[in-house]
Amino acid sequence: MPRAWQQSLPAMPPIPPARAWARLSAPPGYDVQWRRLADAALELGLGPEDVAGVGLDVIAGARGWKPATVALYSKVARYGGLALPLPATPEPDPPALDLRPLTQLRGDDPEHLRSAAWCALALRWPAPVGMFRSLRRDQVRATARRLLISSDDGDWAVPGANTAWHAWEAARNRYPALAASPWVLPALRRGPGLESRIGGRLSNQALQVTFTKHARNTVRELRAAAPPSRRDAVEELAAAYRTLSYDSYRRLALAAGAPPVAARGVVRANRATARAAREAG
């Protein structure tokens, strides 16, 4: 376990921020996030003692972090020994949203097809991003009307995703590295890591970035294709998509009636459904 940060004694001068961060070890499994937290703090001249004292509000404001990002880095800071309060993961806002545009095919670009297939699967199989990261092609079997997914948590039938799935499979089979990959959502290009390769397994963070990019591209395409009579509705949808994360997408799918795949997010989805029912009444 990393040692917890200790406040300086009153008679001792504070340790320079860079040295103070260097004295702390990253929590296991969070080396990248810890380094980014430290870099963001150092840009503002903050050491661990300062962050523990004032929280992440100053850093979040400077970096433009969303509430979900603040929740993530608060958790990482606590794992690293900084006594920060852990904010609750924000509820999806709005509590209901049309997610179907994210599942629709609008071209033959492999990156778009991969994202559309992911969203089509997640609309009726709303698994956490970590489960999608580790989902293998041999765990998914296509029938005439639905996809069948086998996982450690059980077997699932997913209707409505066949079109996007077959389009993605056909596209990836044109590239040997993607065709040979065992992953449902493989890397399409090499990343900065030494072990990164085309067809390799993406990280959770890379998948989150992929989803955000897909949502923004969908906004652009909806605007380009919207007739004048639909422009206001499209702008309202675009405003929601601009801040949509995969975690919110998953909770919205659960709130819309998709069966729970894992325990995470189910309570929040139920609260969102109850809140929507109260507001409608």
Q: Which two tokens stand for residue 133?
A: 């990261």
Q: Which two tokens stand for residue 75?
A: 């958790």
Q: Count CB neighbours of 174 within 10 A.
A: 10
User: Given a cut of 50, is residue 265 above it in pLDDT?
Assistant: no
Q: What is the pLDDT of residues 204-256, one digit of tens each?
A: 889 999 999 999 999 999 999 888 888 888 898 888 898 889 999 999 999 88
Task: Please name the fold of domain 100-280.
Answer: hpI Integrase; Chain A (1.10.443)
Query: Which amino acid type is present at position 53?
Result: G
- pLDDT computed for residue 83 by the predictor: 78
Domain locations in the chain as residue ranges? 17-79, 100-280
User: Given a cut of 60, is residue 3 above it in pLDDT?
Assistant: no
Distance in angstroms (rounded) separating the CA atoms of residues 10 and 238? 52
Contact 48, 5 (CB under 8 A): yes
- pLDDT computed for residue 72 by the predictor: 81
ω into residue 94 within 30 of 0, thus cis?
Answer: yes
Least confident of 1-5, 83-87, 141-145: 1-5
Phi and psi at residue 259, in whole multiples of 5°? Answer: -70, 140
**How buried is 267 (Cβ within 10 angstroms: 0-12 exposed, 13-18 middle, 19+ buried)?**
exposed
Distance in angstroms (rounded) separating the CA atoms of residues 29 and 262? 22
- pLDDT computed for residue 56 by the predictor: 85
Most confident of 24-38, 61-75, 207-221, 259-273: 207-221
Query: Which amino acid type is present at position 12?
Result: M
* Cβ-proximal residues to 148 (8 Å cutoff; 6+ apart), any chain: 140, 141, 142, 155, 156, 157, 158
User: Given a cut of 80, is residue 184 above it in pLDDT?
Assistant: yes
Starting at the edge strand found earlier in the chain, the sheet holding 140-142 runs: 140-142, 146-151, 154-159
Question: To the nearest whole number, what is the mean pLDDT of the chain?
Answer: 84
- pLDDT computed for residue 134 by the predictor: 94
Q: Residue 102: which of 199, 244, 7 has the closest Cα?
A: 244
